[in-house]
Structure formats: structure tokens, C-alpha cells
Amino acid sequence: MAVREVVPGVQWVGSIDWDRKVFDELIPLPHGTSYNAYLVKGTEKTALIDTVDPKKEFELVANLISSSVDRIDYLIVNHAEQDHSGSLPMLLELFPMAKVVTNEKCCEFLKKFHEIEESCCHIIKDGDTLDLGGATLEFIITPWVHWPETMVTYLREKKILFSCDLFGSHLATSDLFVIDENTTYTAAKRYYAEIMMPFRNSIKGHLERLDNYEINIIAPSHGPLYDRPGLIIDAYRDWTGDHVKNEAIILYVSMHGSTEKMVAHLTDALIKREIPVKVLNLGVCDTGEISVSLVDAATIILATPTVLFGPHPLMVYAAYLANLIRPKAKFGTVIGSYAWGGKTIDTLKGMLNHLTLEFLTPIYIQGTPDITAFQALDKLADAVEQKHKNLV
């Protein structure tokens, strides 16, 4: 793997994982990913900021060799998750004098995950600095940017923010810096939806704090670096802000076609009312597509038939996912069809208890939709239109 210079004194020594297709056995990676590690050389000391997934640790070591590194004084750990901290045990074998520099909470995690001895750790607090000799690292503790121990590191002299998972994207690319802004925006939004969305309110606060820093480069731990940081900072402001888009998302699954007919009618009714709508068939859409669709839509409509006594299991999965990642949608409802019974509506409402949704009148019918059902769907489209008109 080729070592790349970010700026003089700062090198990218990470790994590009072109082959990886799924993360956590949960998140599809249509474009692979990267694990970015950064070597910062001062006149006195050398620091490595984050490591790589342990399956790529030999690439990291090869990069350090080709960078002519004969010592590492500090191993900075912004986040304890294994795709960033997992190569620590090997690095500590190679560089036994190195100190693991991180916050107290992260140190606790590292002890549990990698059996790192506390004596190897140099605990820092929010705002602490580390002088490498002409290169000053400032640590900014940003809890709940994925995990409770997360922090970011700022290199004052070069105005680089090493943001770890924050502002990241699962994108394997040979571009060190973002060149294709559209591709990166899409990948970063998907990443935000999957990883960051539950922490929207924490991130909003951290963005305000980062406003106080002059940032020339954002160097995340996944995906390309931003030498025009406004691109990703503005996007995060938009995604984490309370404003929702005039858009309805219909997540649906159908068994014998009745729910599908209802979805088709409602979709047309929304389009006629000039309400942007996205329709996702849960039978073919993956977790990433579902998650990213929910980032900023005003309305979420769950359309499912009843299987035996409750919602179709694919809808149960989607509702559980939505309740975990907690999109900021303001309105929601359930539509669909049953054969002979069940309590699908109550089950799904209960599953979305972490969302702050105003529930619109559900439309749940027996068998195939008739003219009465279609009229009810038209009324639902009217209600969505009315609600969206009142959006600030």
C-alpha cells in the first residue's frame, strides 16, 4: 500500500479495503472502505493517530517501514472500536516504549478489548495538548459520536482535524482527498445514517464547538480526506438539524399483492399532490438503503400485510432498525392488508416508541383494496400534504 503525504510532516499510512462487502455483518459496503491511520512527525517525537482493522495490520506495518519509522512515541486512540484500535497489540510489540494516548473511558475499553495494561496508557483530558516538537496535538473529547469514549484530535500548526468516525464514509478510493464530491456526499450520508444518526443531538453540540477551530483539512478514519471541509460540515449541519424535508418514505412488503396495490395508489396520490416520495421494497432493499432514506424525510409510512398475528418479519426488521437509528421524521402511519386477524398496527406503533412521530390515521383493510380503501388512501395523501405545508 502506498504511503501518501497529507501535508509535510503528516502521512497517511492506513489501508484501503477494496474487498470488504459488509461491516458488522449488518452494513453493506457497496464501495468497500478504508481504515485511515496517520503518522505525525515532530522534531522531537512521532505519533500515530489511530490504527487499522487487525486483518490489515501488516499493511500498516509495511507502511511504517516504508516511511522509515524507527520509533513511535505516541499511539493516539480516538475511538476504541476494533477497526481503529485493533492493531494496537501488534504495534505495542513492535514499539514497546510507545504510550497509548487516549481519554479515561477509552482506556477502560482498550483494557477490556485488547488487554492493554494501564501503565501503557497516557490519559488525557478534554483540551489537553501533546507537543511533538513543532507539531501540537490538541485532544477534543466528543462523547457519543458513535460510542461514549469518542474524541477527535486537532493538529494546531497544520489545522488538521483527525475526526475518526465523525465525517467518515465507507469508500475505497485511491483519491487521498475528495475529488468526486457527489460520490463522497452520497457515501458519507449513508455512513451518517448507519452509524451517526442516533447521536444527532450530541453531534449538533460538537459541531458548534468545532466552529471555534480553524480547519483546513478533515482527516476521518474511513474514506477520503476533505481539503474543502465545508462540504462535509455543511452536510452534517443539514442532516443533524431539526429541519425535515418535504418528502414521504414508504417502506413496504407485500405477499399476495394487496398491500402493493395500496402502496401504488398512495404513491400516485402523493405524486399528484407534488409531494416527493420514495418507495422501498423491503424484499430487495438493503439496510443501508433503508437507513439513508430515513435521514431527513418528514413522513415515514410502513406498509405491510399481516403474517399470522402481526407485521411481516421484514417490516419488523425495518421498524426495529428505524427505532434504533431514530430518524427525525415528524409524521408516520401504517397501511396494509390482513386476511383474518392480528394486531399489526399496535405492534408497529409500539416498536417505534423511540421516535417522536405524530401518527396519522392508519389504513388497514381485510383482503384486496376496494374503492373505499383507495378513497381512504387519498385522504391520507391529503393529510400528509397538509402536514408538510406546515413544516417550518
Residues that bind other proteins (CB under 8 A): 144, 148, 198-199, 201-202, 323-324, 326, 353-354, 356
Nearest distance, CB of residue 145 and other proteins, angstroms = 11
The helix/strand/coil state of 71 is coil
Nearest distance, CB of residue 149 and other proteins, angstroms = 11
Among positive and negative, which fits the CA dihedral 165, 166, 172, 178? negative
Helix/strand/coil percentages in the chain, nearest 5: 35, 25, 40
Q: Which residue, 113 or 144, is less far from other proteins as judged by CB?
A: 144
Nearest distance, CB of residue 326 and other proteins, angstroms = 6
Q: Which residue, 243 or 354, is less far from other proteins as judged by CB?
A: 354
Nearest distance, CB of residue 352 and other proteins, angstroms = 10
Distance between the two ends of the chain, CA-based, in angstroms? 49
Residue 335: exposed, middle, or buried by beta-carbon count in 10 A (0-12, 13-18, 19+)?
Answer: buried
Nearest distance, CB of residue 148 and other proteins, angstroms = 6
Nearest distance, CB of residue 204 and other proteins, angstroms = 10
For residue 54, what is the DSSP state? G
Q: Which residue, 129 or 201, is less far from other proteins as judged by CB?
A: 201
Asked if residues 147 and 203 have their Cβ atoms less than 8 Å apart, the reply is no
Q: Which of 118, 126, 125, 82 is nearest to 100 (CA)?
A: 118
Helix axes 344-351, 313-325, angle to 10 degrees: 30
Q: Which residue, 185 or 317, is less far from other proteins as judged by CB?
A: 317
Name the residue type at position 67: S
Nearest distance, CB of residue 125 and other proteins, angstroms = 16
Nearest distance, CB of residue 201 and other proteins, angstroms = 5
Q: Which residue, 55 or 326, is less far from other proteins as judged by CB?
A: 326
302: its cell numbers: 410502513
d(CA 302, CA 322): 11
Q: Which residue, 21 or 354, is less far from other proteins as judged by CB?
A: 354
Asked if residues 103 and 124 have their Cβ atoms less than 8 Å apart, the reply is yes
Q: Which residue, 89 or 198, is less far from other proteins as judged by CB?
A: 198
- Interior/surface letters 222-252, b for 16+ CB within 10 angstroms, e for the rest: bbbbbbebebbbebbbebbeeebebbbbbbb
Nearest distance, CB of residue 110 and other proteins, angstroms = 17
CB atoms within 10 A of CB 379: 14
Strand pairing report for 151-155 and 38-41: unpaired
In Å, how far are 42, 232, 271, 388 from 382, measured between CA atoms?
Answer: 63, 36, 11, 10
Q: Which residue, 179 or 324, is less far from other proteins as judged by CB?
A: 324
The helix/strand/coil state of 326 is coil
Asked if residues 53 and 27 have their Cβ atoms less than 8 Å apart, the reply is no
Using DSSP, how many helices (H) and how many strands (E) does the chain show? 12, 24
13: its cell numbers: 499510512
Q: Which residue, 41 or 328, is less far from other proteins as judged by CB?
A: 328
Q: Which residue, 173 or 202, is less far from other proteins as judged by CB?
A: 202
Nearest distance, CB of residue 76 and other proteins, angstroms = 24
